[in-house]
Structures are given as C-alpha cells and as structure tokens.
C-alpha cells in the first residue's frame, strides 16, 4: 500500500499544525464558532448531538495493521473505546473533544493518516473496490489511480469550495463492488475493443434526497488523461453548479438540468484546453506510485480442494462462513476473507479497540499485515493462504468476529441515525439490531441467500437505502418515528433505485414486515433466483400485498 514519502509527510504534518493553531484561536476566543465551523469541517470534525465526531480517511479502504493499532489507541485514549467504520470506507470516532483533536491529528500523521476533506464541500475520500488488485474478475488494479487522484484532490486550491461535497469511486472489475454508478464521478477501468485499458467515466450519480444513477459521459479515456478529465468536470461543476439551494447543489442536479449531452460538451471543451498540460500522468510518476502496490511475496501454492472440503463437511459453521465470507483470489492457493462487523444485535460497523488490536494481529499473521475497509462496513483480509483458512476462522470465532453473513440479510448497512446524528429523523441502529436478531433467531439466513438491507435515518441517505434490495428510511411524522420501505435497489453494475412499498411503519412492525417480504420471496422464487432477481421478474405487488394486505378498490383509487 502507499506509504508517505518526505513530501507527503511534510504536507500532512503542516496540515495538523495548521489545525492546532486554528483550534487554539477558537479555544482562546479569537474566532467564534461560525468562523471556526468551516475550518473544522474541512478537517472532518463535526459537532453531533452529544459530542464532536471525527472522521478519519482510510484512502480507498486500504489500511495496515500498524495503522489499525493506532486507530485502536485513539479509540481507547480519546474516545470511549470504539470506532465506527462507514460506507465511505472511513472510520469515525463519536466521542471526541475539541481540545484533543490536534493531538489526534498528529498521532494519525505519524502513521500516514489524516482527516483532510473528510467533510466539507470538496472532494471527499476516494473509494474503491475493496478487492482491488486481488479479485479474480479484475481487468486492471485501480489503486494507483486512486492514489494519484487522492494527491490531486488534497487541498486543491481551486476546488475546495465547490457547490457541494464531491465523491469519487473507482473499480477495475466488471462486477462493481464500489457502487460507482451512485457517485458524483464513477471511474471504471476496462479494455476497449483493441484491448487497451482505459476508464469509463460516469458522472452525476448520487443518493441523498434526489437519488440518481450516474450517466456515462465517456466510454473510454486513456488513463494518463484521467486527472485532466476529472479537472474539466470539476471546473464545469464549480462554475455552473447551483449555489442558491443546498438541496440542488450536487452535480447530479446540474447534469439533469442541462442534460448529459450538453454537459459533455462543456466538459469536452474545457478538457481540450487542459488535456496536454502538466495534468498528464507521467510514466515516472505512475511507476513511483505503482511500486507501492506491487503484489506481496506469494508462495507457490495450489488451491486446497479436498482438504478444505473435508473440513467443511465436518464443521457446518465453518462451511457457512466459507460460503458467505470467503471468496476466490486471483493467485492460486490464496483466498479473500471478509470479517463481518454485523454480529446479530450489534451496531453495524462498530468495533472495539480491543478487537481492532486482535484484528491487526491476525492481519500480521495471515494477510501480510494489511486489510481493507469495505463500503458495506465490514473488514477484508485480501491475501489469506487457503491452508490457513480454518485456523483463521477458529481465531475469529474466539473473537466473536466470525459471523457468517457477508452479503446476507443480516449484513445490514445502517447510518448512525438519531443515536448520534443531529440531522436524523429516526434511529437506524436499533432497527438494524432488531432485524439482525430476528434473522439470527429465525435460522433463515442461509436459505434466503444474498439480500442487502440498507437503513438511513433521514433523506440524506448515508445508509444507502435507495440502493438496498430492501431500503429502510427513517421519517418523522408528528414527532413519531416511522420507517418507509423501498424494494429493488441495487448498487452493482446493474444499479437501480428502490421503489417505495407503501406507508411508513412504526419500529415494532418493521422486522415482521421484512419477514413477510422475505417469505414471499421464498415462496415465489424460481430455482436459484436471488431476491433481487425475483423482484425484477415479478415486480413489487406481491410484496406490497404481503406487507399491507390485498389491494382493495379504495386503495387503488387513492
């Protein structure tokens, strides 16, 4: 993974010192909260319901064991002993004091980490496929480009006051694990018909109040031009994005208002002027960064067929874990292992300082000292020897980190909601806990198979409810929490937005409603259809009926 050199290090240190001075001015009363707010936000420090929250970037989800130990230390020393992994592959600390923040930044800088632009109307942490560089279906590893774009966007003098926040995601695989279609810019590495690698550029996707699937602005662009192309998009957006209404300020609104063709014309005109300037990525720079992403020293191993099969037959729990949490690796004899942070009844994405340290030790022992944070709020070891899988599983079981539910119904995404977030209408976490416990007790998890349930505490959609196969949105009706269900959302290469099922339900009715939806699916599915496939074949009506009862005439008229 990328390590800072002296230049990166100097910049990050200077940023930490700058914030130390800024917060001292605030604490001394030289500046007021209004003046301080934009400064702290540019450093990922939010004021939430009960305390400050600090969001730390995990660039495109890559984390070393060493860094994870430092995060554990921060959780213990400056927080209540917990961290919370987010859908942006970041980690948040929910109980931070302002006086400690400069020290935390210095501690982060020591391990090549920072909080720069993890908030604010600027380019946010860049996200990527968490299997990047390891996935069997991958065409090209996007991580070098992620790092180039990270450096390009950090403290950009022109684009630090955009109309609104700006999110980029990259993937190099046909199967999209990075949800690139619901980002301001999504970049998909693929080959053109002559086999040359290049980026498909998708623009104007997003969630929030106005969910939009992004549109392809360019089918293929040479990688060395990707930064100038991104700059052209950012400049057009900076100049023409709406600034009069924060709910209409994202790039998706601009793209929809003028249409993708006109938008493309503006971008291309701008791009023509800058494509051959210093923004081109030189081979030297590519090679310098690429050297950080060379594969580790893999051993010459064969895939473990029979032995693993024997262990799986003997141990059904191991078998269940293998089926949902472990996936193929492009190198023979290795596997990708997901560690679920979604044990039934627990807060999705939360992990204690003790467990962080244990996970760091396991990463050292089993996966070359590195791991990934993935956008479904779980952790991933990308380089595990297949001969070690059983041993790793046993150790994870001992740590209560072997929940076998990756991609299954209890692998729920939930935003912090009303337990922490000042903008929330409703609590997300308890709903996630209710549902995951419900599934754990029903024993149907494996039978139901792949199903994503995403929960947001308000329209801002941080819990990605629009793209959950089942989405749950917290709403507030006359001071009471209700939950609105949507069906049919998906964040992969066939991205789609969920459709509203019906009126909002009180919290107590949500698990039962989910159960009826799932039972309906089990009854009408054909062969090996997933929930989403069944839904797409049959439509929403049977599910609606299952939750709200048969359609009567009066409802039809209404």
Chain residues binding ligand SF4 by CB under 6 A are: 415-417, 421, 423-424, 456-458, 460-463
Nearest to 254 by CA among 219, 218, 206: 206
Query: Which is closer to ligand SF4, CB of 456 or CB of 484?
Result: 456
480 is an interface residue for other proteins by CB under 8 A? no
27 is an interface residue for other proteins by CB under 8 A? no
243 is an interface residue for other proteins by CB under 8 A? yes
Q: Of residues 24, 27, 38, 209, which one binds other proteins by CB under 8 A?
A: 38
Separation CA 254–CA 185 (nearest Å):
13
Query: Which is closer to other proteins, CB of 283 or CB of 300?
Result: 283
Check: CB of residue 386 under 8 Å from CB of residue 301. yes
Query: Which is closer to ligand SF4, CB of 167 or CB of 188?
Result: 167
Q: What is the dihedral of CA 438, 442, 448, 454, to 10 degrees?
A: 0
Stretch in the footprint of other proteins (CB under 8 A) among 278-286, 309-317, 334-342, 386-394? 278-286
Stretch in the footprint of other proteins (CB under 8 A) among 1-9, 77-85, 446-454, 475-483? 1-9
Nearest to 252 by CA among 163, 177, 376: 163
In the complex, minimum distance from the CB of residue 211 to ligand SF4, in angstroms, rounded to a whole number: 12
x/- mask, other proteins, residues 420-459, rule CB under 8 A, reads ----------------------------------------
Check: CB of residue 233 under 8 Å from CB of residue 216. no
Residue 462: name its binding partner from ligand SF4, other proteins, none (Cβ under 5 to 8 Å by kind): ligand SF4
Stretch in the footprint of other proteins (CB under 8 A) among 7-15, 102-110, 356-364, 426-434? 7-15
Residue 554: name its binding partner from other proteins, ligand SF4, none (Cβ under 5 to 8 Å by kind): none
In the complex, minimum distance from the CB of residue 347 to other proteins, in angstroms, rounded to a whole number: 34
Residue 126: name its binding partner from ligand SF4, other proteins, none (Cβ under 5 to 8 Å by kind): none
Stretch in the footprint of other proteins (CB under 8 A) among 5-13, 202-210, 292-300, 301-309? 5-13
Residue 461: name its binding partner from ligand SF4, other proteins, none (Cβ under 5 to 8 Å by kind): ligand SF4
291 is an interface residue for other proteins by CB under 8 A? no
Stretch in the footprint of other proteins (CB under 8 A) among 45-53, 150-158, 298-306, 321-329? 150-158
- What does the H/E/C string look like for 238-276? HHHCCCCCHHHCCHHHHHHHHCHHHHHHHHHHHHHHHCC
- Across 45-58, b (16+ Cβ under 10 Å) vs e yields bbebeebbbbbbbb
The structure tokens listed for 4 are: 């800072």
Half-sphere exposure of 247 (CA within 13 A, CB side): 5
In the complex, minimum distance from the CB of residue 177 to other proteins, in angstroms, rounded to a whole number: 28
Q: Is 513 helix (H, G, I), strand (E, B) or coil?
A: helix
Separation CA 223–CA 281 (nearest Å):
8
Stretch in the footprint of other proteins (CB under 8 A) among 168-176, 280-288, 336-344, 357-365? 280-288
Q: What is the dihedral of CA 384, 389, 393, 394, to 10 degrees?
A: -120
Residue 463: name its binding partner from ligand SF4, other proteins, none (Cβ under 5 to 8 Å by kind): ligand SF4
Number of residues written out for the chain: 558
In the complex, minimum distance from the CB of residue 289 to ligand SF4, in angstroms, rounded to a whole number: 33
Separation CA 269–CA 319 (nearest Å):
55
146 burial via Cβ count (<10 Å: 0-12, 13-18, 19+): buried
Spatial CB neighbours of 47, under 8 Å, sequence gap ≥ 6: 53, 422
Stretch in the footprint of other proteins (CB under 8 A) among 34-42, 338-346, 374-382, 505-513? 34-42
Q: Of residues 72, 162, 396, 432, which one binds other proteins by CB under 8 A?
A: 162
Query: Which is closer to other proteins, CB of 99 or CB of 273?
Result: 273
101 is an interface residue for other proteins by CB under 8 A? no
Stretch in the footprint of other proteins (CB under 8 A) among 139-147, 161-169, 381-389, 481-489? 161-169
Q: List strand residue ranges (DSSP E) for 81-225, in order.
A: 82-85, 91-96, 127-128, 168-171, 185-191, 197-203, 215-221
Separation CA 283–CA 256 (nearest Å):
37
Containing 321, the helix (H) or strand (E) segment is helix 316-325
121 is an interface residue for other proteins by CB under 8 A? yes
Query: What percent of the residues of the chain are helix, what percent strand, and what percent coil, each to the nearest 5?
Result: 45, 20, 40
Residue 313: name its binding partner from other proteins, ligand SF4, none (Cβ under 5 to 8 Å by kind): none
Instruction: Note the residues at the interface with other proteins (CB under 8 A).
Output: 5, 7-8, 10-11, 14-15, 17-18, 22, 35, 38-39, 121, 151-152, 154-163, 235, 238-239, 243, 273, 277-279, 284-285, 288
């Amino acid at each position: 993974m990328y390590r800072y050199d002296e230049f990166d290090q100097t910049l990050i240190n200077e940023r930490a010192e700058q914030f130390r001075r800024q917060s001292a001015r605030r604490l001394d009363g030289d500046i007021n909260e209004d003046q301080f707010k934009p400064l702290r936000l540019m450093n990922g420090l939010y004021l939430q319901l009960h305390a400050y929250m600090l969001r730390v970037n995990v660039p495109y989800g890559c984390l070393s064991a060493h860094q994870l130990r430092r995060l554990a230390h921060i959780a213990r020393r400056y927080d209540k002993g917990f961290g919370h992994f987010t859908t942006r592959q970041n980690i948040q600390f929910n109980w931070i004091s302002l006086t400690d923040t400069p020290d935390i930044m210095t501690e982060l800088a020591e391990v090549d980490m920072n909080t720069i632009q993890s908030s604010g109307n600027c380019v946010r942490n860049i996200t990527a496929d968490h299997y990047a560089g390891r996935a069997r279906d991958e065409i090209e590893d996007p991580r070098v480009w992620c790092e180039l774009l990270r450096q390009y966007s950090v403290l950009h003098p022109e684009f630090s006051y955009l109309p609104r926040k700006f999110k980029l995601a990259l993937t190099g695989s046909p199967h999209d694990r990075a949800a690139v279609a619901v980002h301001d810019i999504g970049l998909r590495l693929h080959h053109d018909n002559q086999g040359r690698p290049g980026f498909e550029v998708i623009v104007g996707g997003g969630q929030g109040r106005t969910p939009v699937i992004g549109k392809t602005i360019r089918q293929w662009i040479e990688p060395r031009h990707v930064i100038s192309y991104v700059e052209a998009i950012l400049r057009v957006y900076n100049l023409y994005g709406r600034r009069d209404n924060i709910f209409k300020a994202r790039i998706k609104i601009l793209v929809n208002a003028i249409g993708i063709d006109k938008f493309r014309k503006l971008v291309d005109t701008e791009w023509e002027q800058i494509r051959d300037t210093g923004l081109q990525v030189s081979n030297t720079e590519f090679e310098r960064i690429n050297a950080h992403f060379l594969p580790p020293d893999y051993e010459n191993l064969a895939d473990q067929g029979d032995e693993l099969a024997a262990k799986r037959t003997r141990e059904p729990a191991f078998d269940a874990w293998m089926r949902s949490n472990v996936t193929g690796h492009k190198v023979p004899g290795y596997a990708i292992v997901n560690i679920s942070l979604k044990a039934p009844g627990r807060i999705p994405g939360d992990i204690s300082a003790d467990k962080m340290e244990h996970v760091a030790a396991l990463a050292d022992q089993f996966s070359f000292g590195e791991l990934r944070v993935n956008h479904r709020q779980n952790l991933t070891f990308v380089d595990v020897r297949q001969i070690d899988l059983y041993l790793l599983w046993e150790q994870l079981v001992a740590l209560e980190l072997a929940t076998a539910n990756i991609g299954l119904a209890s692998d729920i995404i939930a935003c912090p909601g009303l337990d922490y977030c000042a903008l929330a209408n409703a609590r997300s976490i308890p709903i996630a806990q209710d549902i995951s416990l419900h599934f754990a007790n029903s024993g149907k998890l494996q039978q139901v198979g792949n199903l994503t349930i995403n929960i947001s505490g308000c329209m801002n959609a941080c819990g990605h409810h629009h793209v959950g196969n089942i989405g749950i949105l917290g709403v507030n009706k006359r001071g009471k929490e209700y939950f609105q269900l949507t069906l049919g959302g998906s964040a992969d290469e066939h991205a789609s937005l969920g459709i509203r099922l019906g009126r909002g339900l009180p919290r107590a009715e949500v698990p039962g409603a989910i159960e009826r939806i799932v039972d309906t699916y089990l009854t009408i599915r054909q062969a090996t259809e997933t929930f989403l496939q069944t839904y797409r074949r049959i439509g929403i009506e049977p599910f609606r009926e299952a939750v709200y009862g048969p359609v009567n005439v009066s409802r039809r008229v209404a």
